[in-house]
């Protein structure tokens, strides 16, 4: 089921990148991302329900799995939130920094899915986890620079409000990928890998 969640993340983040880069023509992808968000909710719910039947709430290892399921769901939630904000705020055209951040979220989504597949197969996770940390650092840098650019003089305050929220939502998506990486690192330590 974790691998299923990874595939869902890959699909949602790839669609989001396509939506952001092709906005407003590709705004039609938003409903597909919303469907994936609902699918992600169901996966997280199923994982937590299974853990509950095994007494997961009180078992440390299983409890961490529950947190992992919810954090994986967060990634898709932020992807969906970004697509939703762009529609709600009636954004007219993309910004290069948003395209860059959406690209990073997609790459981080791939790395998360790869790590989950490797976890299932008992393979090495380090390469994917390092990639996620690198993307998170890069995302922080791009996001801060993008916010600073918004506060240059003379820019329409509506543009500032709209894009600040979009940049933050994208950054939170990337941060959620890093949270997954932290949880997987914890799992590795507990497993003594």
Partner 1 sequence: MRLVTAKAPLRLALIDGDTGFVGVVGKRFEGMGWQHRVIDGPVPAGELAAMRLNALVIDPETLGTGAWDFLEAACAALPELGVLVCTARSTVAQRVRGLRLGADDWIAKPCHAEELVARIEAVVRRRQRSASSTDAEPLRFGELEIRPDRFQAYVSGQSAELTRREFELLRLLADTPGLVLEREHVYERVWGYAMAHGDRSVDVFIRKVRQKVERLSPGWRYVHTHFGIGYRFQPESLDHDAGEEENGPVAPTEREPVGGIEVAVSDGAAVSTKSAGHPAPARQPAEHRARAGSRA
Phi and psi (nearest 5°) for 88? -60, -40
Q: Tell me the C-alpha distance between 6 and 72, whole Å.
A: 8
Report, in Å, the least distance between residue 153 CB and partner 1: 7
The residue among 94 and 109 lying less far from partner 1, judged by its C-beta, is 94
Report, in Å, the least distance between residue 85 CB and partner 1: 17
As given in the structure block, the two tokens for residue 100 are 């860059």
Report, in Å, the least distance between residue 6 CB and partner 1: 31
HSE of 102, CA atoms in CB hemisphere, 13 A: 26
Report, in Å, the least distance between residue 94 CB and partner 1: 5
The residue among 83 and 125 lying less far from partner 1, judged by its C-beta, is 83
Q: How buried is 67 (Cβ within 10 angstroms: 0-12 exposed, 13-18 middle, 19+ buried)? A: middle
Which residues of the chain form contacts with partner 1 (CB under 8 A)? Answer: 23-24, 92-98, 146, 149-150, 152-156, 159-160, 163
b vs e for 11-24, b when ≥16 Cβ sit within 10 Å of the residue's Cβ? Answer: bbbbbbbbbbbebe
The residue among 93 and 189 lying less far from partner 1, judged by its C-beta, is 93
The residue among 21 and 183 lying less far from partner 1, judged by its C-beta, is 21
Q: Tell me the C-alpha distance between 49 and 66, whole Å.
A: 9
Report, in Å, the least distance between residue 180 CB and partner 1: 28
The residue among 96 and 126 lying less far from partner 1, judged by its C-beta, is 96
* Residue 32 Cα distances to 15, 116, 167, 169, angstroms: 8, 23, 21, 18
């Amino acid at each position: 089921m974790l691998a299923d969640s990874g595939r869902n993340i890959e699909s949602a983040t790839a669609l989001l990148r396509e939506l952001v880069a092709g906005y407003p023509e590709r705004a039609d992808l938003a409903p597909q991302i919303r469907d994936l968000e609902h699918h992600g909710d169901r996966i997280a719910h199923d994982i937590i329900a299974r853990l509950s039947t095994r007494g997961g709430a009180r078992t440390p290892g299983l409890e961490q799995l529950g947190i992992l399921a919810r954090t994986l769901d967060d990634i898709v939630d932020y992807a969906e939130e970004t697509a939703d904000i762009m529609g709600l705020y009636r954004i007219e055209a993309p910004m290069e920094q948003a395209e860059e951040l959406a690209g990073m979220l997609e790459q981080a989504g791939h790395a998360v899915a790869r790590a989950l597949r490797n976890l299932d197969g008992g393979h090495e996770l380090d390469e994917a986890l390092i990639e996620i940390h690198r993307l998170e650092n890069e995302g922080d840098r791009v996001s801060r620079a993008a916010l600073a650019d918004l506060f240059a003089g003379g820019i329409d305050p509506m543009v500032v409000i709209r894009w600040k929220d979009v940049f933050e939502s994208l950054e939170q998506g990337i941060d959620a990928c890093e949270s997954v990486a932290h949880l997987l690192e914890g799992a590795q330590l507990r497993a003594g890998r």
